[in-house]
Amino acid sequence: MTWLRGRHAVEESLRARARGVRELWVLSGLQAEHIKELIGLARGAGARVRYVSKNELDRLGPGHQGLAARVGEKPAAGLEEWLAGLSAEAKKSAVLVALDQIQDPHNLGAIARAASCLGGVALLVPDRRSAPVSPAAVQASAGAIEKIPVLNVGNLAQALEKLKGEGFWVYGADMSGKPCWETRLNFPLVLVIGSEGAGLRALVRERCDELVAVPQSAGGVASLNASTAAAVLLYEAARQARQA
């Protein structure tokens, strides 16, 4: 069990019920309508509701906004199970985001938020050397990670091969690639985001059908943050999907 803090993280957990919310803490005196709605959701899910002081909430950590929820771990789905439940119609335009050893929970959360907002249908995350779906990741995603399946895989390169066999195109984010707005993206697709420091590993890079880059101005820095690059590329995928 762990604690989630803040309105968005708590709200999305209650709505998804994927983590099994056990207890909701509410700052004494909060009376807003959305607070009453969250209390109703918590009670409907069988969670205990407690009104507590600010000091009690502060002990859980910053950013609670008067709300905290004690939850179980987010259940991880398997890739094969997820594929089996994907309809033929949904598959046509599906966009998955694969994370190649993203270890910063804030990047994981930010990428989940971008994927949720821009049409991503799932995150593909290796079991090892990757950030878990922790409270920090949930907060960084503003709760969005509760709304998108997280598919854990033992070997990312093998998972990409399987997806290619299922008809997915695989695009790796890399500065050496073709500018994204000059690349015709094929759907369904997997967008692979490399680690914060090393980028894509060699075996993962070899599984990509094409490398794509976010062009930068001459006065920029060496590269974009992983989550920022993911958001830009997801937007480009969403734009092209609308024009298809």
Give the list of residues 6+ apart from residue 170 with CB closer than 8 angstroms, or none. 98, 160, 163, 164, 189, 190, 192, 207, 208, 209
Question: For position 191, what pLDDT does the model report?
Answer: 98
Question: For position 3, what pLDDT does the model report?
Answer: 86
Helix runs in the chain, H state only: 7-16, 33-44, 54-58, 79-84, 88-92, 105-117, 135-140, 156-165, 202-206, 226-243
Cis ω on the peptide bond leading into residue 135 (within 30° of 0)? no
Question: For position 220, what pLDDT does the model report?
Answer: 58
SS3 174: strand
CATH superfamily of 79-243: SPOUT methyltransferase, trefoil knot domain (3.40.1280.10)
**Size of the chain, expressed as the number of residues it contains:** 244
CATH 3.30.1330.30 corresponds to the domain 2-71: yes
Of 237, 233, 231, 232, nearest to 112 by C-alpha is 231
Q: How many helices (H) and strands (E) does the chain have?
A: 10, 10
Question: For position 18, what pLDDT does the model report?
Answer: 60
Q: Residue ranges of the domains in the chain?
A: 2-71, 79-243
**How do beta strands 23-27 and 67-71 pair?**
antiparallel
Per-residue pLDDT of the chain (244 residues), as tens digits, is 688 888 888 888 888 766 688 999 999 988 888 888 899 989 988 899 999 999 999 999 888 989 999 887 776 678 999 999 999 999 999 999 999 999 999 999 999 999 999 999 999 999 888 988 888 888 888 888 888 999 999 999 999 999 999 999 999 999 889 999 999 999 999 999 998 778 899 999 999 999 999 987 766 566 678 999 999 999 999 999 998 7
